[in-house]
Amino acid sequence: MSNDILERFVGDIVLENPKTANVFTRHGIDFCCGGQRKLSEALYDTKSLPENILAEIESLKATEEETLQDSTLTQLVNYIDKNHHKYLKQKLPEISALLKRVRDVHGDNHPELFDIYDNFITLKEELTAHIRKEEKDIFPLLKELDKDKKALDNAKLGRIIKEIESDHQRAGKLLKSNKKLSHDYTQPKDACTSYRLVYKFLKELEQETLLHIHLENNLLHPKVKARLS
């Protein structure tokens, strides 16, 4: 095993190969807000054996289309839209209906489901408005920036990006709260199929959203800022 990877930032490893996000999430390594840390440091925070994590990472091979670092703004925006925004549009309503049913049936025995549901609904409403804002207010501007066809209002763009990153922080807090309330989505012994399924979906939502935020905060926005300065 080469030690080179240990010296690289966790966020950069995910950008180079998004499949590694699954490995990091599984082992409790923050690649989103804590992405600016070397892997060697991040490994201290996990209870898993470092050699197992490194072996899992090494077994993943990046495909050409998943290597996003060299993408134009338009390609990146299209990728985020086609993958992450589409995922949220499909999944949020589905999880919402299922979680409500699980809360209504199991809430008496598992009162944490009420808080998990409330957090989820806030997250759903905020993310729905958020992706609409990105698609309407910023993605078209970034495509224009690629074409260099018109002068952009840099101050306005900077303001929108700041607002978007603050939305991301709020989403991260809600996800973290639900992770804690559900004990990292550990199913109780009496969990029925719907309960198990909704925890699986919520965990997937967490992973998806953290990767989505990571791509925007750590790849898309720095690319935009570099063009504005």
Residues contributing to the site for Fe ion (CB under 5 A): 134, 216
Rounded to whole angstroms, how far apart are CA atoms 26 and 23?
A: 5
Distance (Å, rounded) from C-alpha 195 to C-alpha 102? 6
Q: State in angstroms the smallest separation of the CB of 135 from Fe ion.
A: 8
Name the minimum Å distance from CB 71 to Fe ion.
Answer: 15
Contacts of 120 (CB under 8 A, 6+ apart): 95, 96, 99, 174, 178, 202
8 Å CB contact between 35 and 216? no
CB of 37 vs Fe ion, minimal distance in Å: 22
CA distance 131 to 143: 16
**Based on CB atoms, which residue is closest to Fe ion, 110 or 130?**
130
* Closer to Fe ion by Cβ: residue 182 or 218: 218
Work out the end-to-end distance of the chain between its first and last CA atoms, rounded to an integer number of angstroms: 40
Nearer to Fe ion, 8 or 132 (CB): 132
Nearer to Fe ion, 95 or 210 (CB): 210
Nearer to Fe ion, 113 or 175 (CB): 175
Tally of CB atoms within 10 A around 159: 11
Give the separation between CA 48 and CA 166, rounded to whole angstroms: 32
Least distance from Fe ion to the Cβ atom of residue 53, Å: 27
- Shortest CB 132 distance to Fe ion, Å: 10
CB atoms within 10 A of CB 122: 14
